[in-house]
Amino acid sequence: MAKKMAEENAHGLQECLGNGDIKQHGVASPVQNRAMKEVNLQRIRDQAQALQGELVNKLNSELNELFDTFITEVEQIEQNGLAGNWQKSSSMSKQKIKEGHLPDKVYVTRRSVLTELLEINHIRTIYHIFVAILIVFSLNTVVYDIIEKGSETGSYSLSLSRIGLSFDLISWAFGQYPKVMALWVVMHLTTLLLVYPLFYFWSTRRKPGRVRVQDYIWLSAFVIYQVAFLVLPVTFVFENHLPPASAVIVVTEQLRLVMKVHAFVRENIPKALRYKHGKDEDNAENKDGPCPDFSKYLYFLFAPCLVYRDSYPRTKTIRWNYVVSNFAQVLACLFYTYYIFERFIVPVFRNFNEDHVTPKRMLLSVFGCMLPGTLCLFIAFFAILHSWLNAFSEMLRFGDRLFYKDWWNSTTFANYYRTWNVVVHDWLYSYIYKDFYYLFGPRYRALAMGMVFFISAVFHEFILSVSMGFFYPVLYVMFAGAGFGFIFLTDKGVSRSWNVFLWVALFIGDGVLMCTYSMEWYARRTCPVVNEPFWDFIIPRSWTCDFTAIKS
């Protein structure tokens, strides 16, 4: 590919050198000849620079891909004890790719990207800048409230309640925490006391051979369990009117367990179907029998991954100071988010009125929400995908900590989606994309990719709808619509300029999301209910608000 690109650009250079791309009519003066030569030389320089940039980007991409493939093959050889059969394993891997087999997820011991980058002084300074911004936010709140409220009351005494540091927003958002923890315990007990015992019973009691009616009955029971697991916790959230942060905890934990249970069953059903009782020589892959040990299932439920394996790479020790520092970073990110909402979001949308829905005010609100929305994106990424997962990885001695890649360097949306959240991407790839790929064939790869986007968009919208208490599919439209289309728009994004386009799109998207959901949230606290409960849930109240009733 790189060779072809070089030949095409070289051909363009030859054309510039050969005819100058300028037709001369008559006799040209020496000044005109010099001007034409300078134009030609400049075009040659531009062609050479473009050729250099494209070749460097393309070669870097191909070298990275080859290096990843090389590392994966080495890791597979080490895990399978085939160090002496390198050539044979490599040829078999290539043969599988030619035959249409997709590679499996391989877990290896490695650190997170930011863990390595933060060892560089320049990157560490950027981290310090964000810490300094948090300190400035805190000082801004203290100084502003002391001066403003002091000028009103004539007293400049210092107290937490007076300077706006009572953190009422945080305590409200995480309200009804005992009910949340009770539901969390119940959800985990069902996965421990129902899923594993029933799967163990089915896998050890079924007769070897072809799939029978009883197997389909067990599969139907599993599907019913998954559906009930999705419905019942949501019902609990709505009946108890859990605030947003508490609802997010419930819903994300609910989806995490659904995905983990699906991964466990999906990985072990083929093994159980192939297992032959009493024939150890035919059960080399099932050393534990048709069902893995309970300890492996228990470890998987809490491990920071969503693709089931019987074993994972483990570290030798637990660095408790590293665990504490990561949890401290999560707490700092929580207060960071609090200041952003308290200073940039709540004052703008608290007094929702007809001015908010005018095109002018709407556009200004979107641009005003771009910076806070993008900051929340950064904070959520760092708090969850880096600090939170690294803390649990350290406590569980989980070795593979590549929870994300350098998504900030992406020049295509396809690469951004693959590298933003590697944990969820691995699950979607392993159990959605690959299954649809094998089911319909390589010719329908676009269908498999479309299903991945559809399910991912539904999951994201599900989290927002349940936690916010209303259905407003802005995220779904942007994710499954614009986001999916941008994949094809930026498909050949070899130029670094596409990275600028990606960041502009992220800023605009974050602003739209922050603005629209904030408007709808405050509209539902200001505008009266005019529809039946079901229709009120799915019809945005910010669109149908009766502002005359509010004024009266």
DSSP string across 286-355: -TT-SS--HHHHHHHHHSS-SS--S---B-S---HHHHHHHHHHHHHHHHHHHHHIIIIIHHHHSS--GG
Q: Residue 184 in contact with residue 250, Cβ under 8 Å? A: yes
Q: How much is the pTM?
A: 0.77
Q: How far apart are CA 411 and CA 419, in angstroms?
A: 12
Q: How far apart are CA 60 and CA 494, in angstroms?
A: 10
CB atoms within 10 A of CB 533: 7
Q: How far apart are CA 80 and CA 430, in angstroms?
A: 21
Q: What per-residue confidence (pLDDT) applies to 426?
A: 93
Distance of CA 483 to the CA centre of its chain: 13
Q: Is the dihedral of CA 367, 368, 371, 372 positive or negative?
A: negative
Q: What per-residue confidence (pLDDT) applies to 250?
A: 94
CB atoms within 10 A of CB 352: 24
User: Residue 336: how many CA atoms within 13 Å on its side-chain side?
Assistant: 23
Q: What per-residue confidence (pLDDT) applies to 35?
A: 65
Nearest alpha carbon to residue 229 among 206, 263, 253, 210: 253
DSSP structure class, residue 24: -
CB atoms within 10 A of CB 207: 9
User: For each successive 10 residues of the chain (552 residues), what is the average pLDDT?
Assistant: 49 47 49 68 72 65 58 47 38 48 87 90 87 81 68 53 62 88 93 92 84 88 94 93 92 94 92 72 60 92 93 92 94 88 81 71 86 89 94 94 91 87 93 89 83 88 91 85 75 74 89 89 83 85 73 56
Within 8 A by CB and 6+ apart from 386, the residues are 112, 114, 115, 326, 329, 403, 404
Within 8 A by CB and 6+ apart from 127, the residues are 118
Q: What per-residue confidence (pLDDT) applies to 60?
A: 60
Q: What per-residue confidence (pLDDT) applies to 94?
A: 46
Longest Cα separation, the chain: 97
Q: Which residues are catalytic?
A: 460
